Amino acid sequence: MDAQPIIQLDNIVTRFAAQSVHDGVSLSVNRGEVVALIGGSGSGKSVLLKELVGLIKPTAGTARLFGEDVWAADSAQLNRLRQRFGMLFQDGALFSSLSVEQNVAVPLLEYTRLPKAECLRLARLKLALAGLPESTATKMPSALSGGMRKRVALARALALDPELLFLDEPTSGLDPISARAFDQLIRVLSDGLGLTVFLITHDLDTLLSIIDRVIVLANHQVLADGTVAALKKIDDPWLRDYFSSRSNVVEA
Ligand SMILES: Nc1ncnc2c1ncn2[C@@H]1O[C@H](COP(=O)(O)OP(=O)(O)OP(=O)(O)O)[C@@H](O)[C@H]1O
């Protein structure tokens, strides 16, 4: 195992005008871990993810990926970093005017010098990795179910063989069976490819089935960091509410 964390946030402070979102958030994720970030609506989970991938600049503190300070990196360094992680946005963010295989080929065309035919061939391999049948490759995203579109977005996030995957609410909008199948796919990919996964979720089933560690954001800071079993023992009102409002799932 790499001694250096793959993700490291130190003392992140985020303010939007008078609104304080983060006030000294520190956390780290090691290679091969599957870690979930949870917290109430508006607690700053998505903003933290955006700060990590170079989309929103924190007011203070450092965000490191693979040991490199994201916000001190020049554009060439940032480009290299971007090729080492994949990101699955909440809505999938597929290009509606491109076919499924063309969507998955976008990062390959952008970041490699491979000929287009080779990019499309690799795209079809990634679609298979994401559990999609060959017949989906030439379809348009609008012809697929929500679960299949998520898998296409996952295939695209895997296009450049990333070491790290960011997922923003991967199971939102999926029926329970598709959600569990998607969870298992993430775990299989993490175990099989040694992928490090950092995801935002509200889905307790995801936490219970595939997550190694959970980090809780509340009151602008990290409230807790540990396994689900450890978190359930913490005497905190937010955590108590979180688990009790979902107790039927926990018992099941
Ligand atoms: N670009 C922005 N400019 C100003 N305020 C923002 C911006 N992005 C997010 N915010 C604010 O920061 C706060 C945290 O937002 P964020 O989307 O990170 O919450 P979240 O924890 O992901 O919530 P949810 O679970 O509902 O998705 C919110 O109050 C939001 O309105």
Structural domains in the chain, sorted by start:
7-92+165-245 (3.40.50.300)
Q: How far is the CA of 41 from the centre of ligand 1 (A)?
A: 8
Q: How far is the CA of 22 from the centre of ligand 1 (A)?
A: 11
CA–CA gap between residue 228 and residue 231 (Å, rounded) = 5
Indicate if ipTM > 0.95: yes
- CB of 95 within 6 A of ligand 1: the answer is no
- Report pTM: 0.89
Q: How far is the CA of 58 from the centre of ligand 1 (A)?
A: 13
- CB of 47 within 6 A of ligand 1: the answer is yes
| Residue 35 phi, psi (nearest 5) | -120, 135
Q: How far is the CA of 222 from the centre of ligand 1 (A)?
A: 16
Nearest CA to ligand 1 atom 16: 44
- CB of 176 within 6 A of ligand 1: the answer is no
* pLDDT in single tens digits along all 252 residues of the chain: 457 899 999 999 999 998 999 999 999 999 999 999 999 888 999 999 999 998 999 999 999 999 999 999 898 898 889 889 998 887 668 899 999 999 999 999 988 889 999 999 999 999 988 888 899 999 999 998 888 888 899 899 999 989 999 999 888 888 888 888 889 888 888 888 889 999 998 888 887 888 999 999 999 999 999 998 899 888 888 888 888 876 555 444
CA–CA gap between residue 54 and residue 6 (Å, rounded) = 15
Q: Locate the ligand 1 atom nearest the alpha carbon of residue 200 and give its number.
A: 22
> Do 191 and 112 touch, CB atoms closer than 8 A?
no
Q: How far is the CA of 252 from the centre of ligand 1 (A)?
A: 32
Q: How far is the CA of 204 from the centre of ligand 1 (A)?
A: 21
Q: Exposed, middle or buried: residue 201 (CB in 10 Å: 0-12, 13-18, 19+)?
A: buried
- CB of 194 within 6 A of ligand 1: the answer is no
Q: Are strands 60-65 and 68-69 parallel, antiparallel or unpaired?
A: antiparallel
